[in-house]
């Protein structure tokens, strides 16, 4: 039994997309993005009170990078991992975990634009700074993707899933048009059936109510 605890438009979408790519049966428990994640029964699954939590093989995993590595090792037939000794192993690990570098800046912007409930608590300086940091991440991806279809030379992997999902969220705060290789890569990744299946169903209560959030001027 595989059960994913998930909130729409959060990092757990990374694991949801990966599970769809792997193609194994699994269940999804959708949680609201609210204080229910701090309830004792959920904290027993993920003591940080965050998503994802993945129940698999009689244990519970959290942290998307660790989950990605575990799932790729658990289901090697998917071809989404790169095992120790593979020529692309080191690059694969770097880009699998780079997704979290992108996501930390997106999380700061999500807090500033959405989570903080009082305008007096928001910081235009933080908004602009974090958006610029996202652009630095985009530049790193752009450099990597120049002349490549995917992040590692041997084809589409879980690294593209992780970074692609991170970009799905980041694009709410920093556009990608100035980065043509990145934009083309994201178009390829986001057209995959497994990505489309990981999107929130129509009518869902969304975290991001708008497609794009401009920096707040105060």
* Structural domains in the chain, sorted by start: 2-78 (3.40.30.10), 89-198 (1.20.1050.10)
Residue 217 has pLDDT above 90, yes or no: no
The pLDDT tens digits for 115-141 are: 998 888 999 999 999 999 999 999 999
Using a pLDDT cut of 90, give the percent of the chain over it.
95
The tokens for 77 are 């037939």
The pLDDT tens digits for 52-94 are: 999 999 999 999 999 999 999 999 999 999 999 999 999 999 9
Which pTM was predicted? Answer: 0.96
DSSP secondary structure code for residue 111 in this structure: I
pLDDT of residue 84: 97
Distance in angstroms between the alpha carbons of the first and the last residue of the chain: 49
Longest dimension (CA), the chain: 53
Whose CA is closest to 130, among 63, 216, 64? 216
What would you report as the CA-atom Rg of the chain, rounded to the nearest whole angstrom? 17
The tokens for 174 are 């920093």
């Amino acid at each position: 039994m595989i059960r994913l605890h998930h909130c729409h438009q959060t990092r757990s979408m990374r694991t949801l997309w990966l599970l769809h790519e792997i193609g194994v049966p699994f269940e999804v428990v959708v949680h609201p993005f609210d204080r229910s994640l701090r309830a004792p029964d959920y904290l027993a699954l993920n003591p940080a009170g965050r998503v994802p939590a993945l129940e698999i093989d009689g244990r519970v995993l959290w942290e998307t990078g660790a989950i990605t590595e575990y799932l790729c090792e658990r289901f090697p037939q998917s071809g989404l991992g790169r095992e120790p000794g593979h020529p692309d192993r080191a690059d694969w690990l770097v880009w699998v975990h780079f997704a979290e570098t992108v996501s930390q800046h997106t999380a700061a912007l999500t807090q500033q634009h959405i989570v903080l409930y009082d305008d007096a608590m928001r910081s235009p300086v933080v908004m602009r700074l974090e958006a610029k940091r996202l652009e630095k991440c985009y530049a790193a991806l752009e450099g990597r993707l120049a002349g490549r279809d995917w992040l590692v030379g041997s084809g589409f992997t879980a690294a593209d899933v992780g970074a692609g999902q991170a970009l799905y969220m980041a694009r709410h705060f920093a556009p990608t048009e100035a980065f043509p290789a990145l934009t083309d890569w994201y178009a390829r990744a986001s057209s995959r059936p497994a990505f489309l299946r990981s999107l929130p169903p129509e009518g869902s209560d969304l975290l991001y109510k708008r497609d794009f959030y401009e920096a707040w001027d105060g």
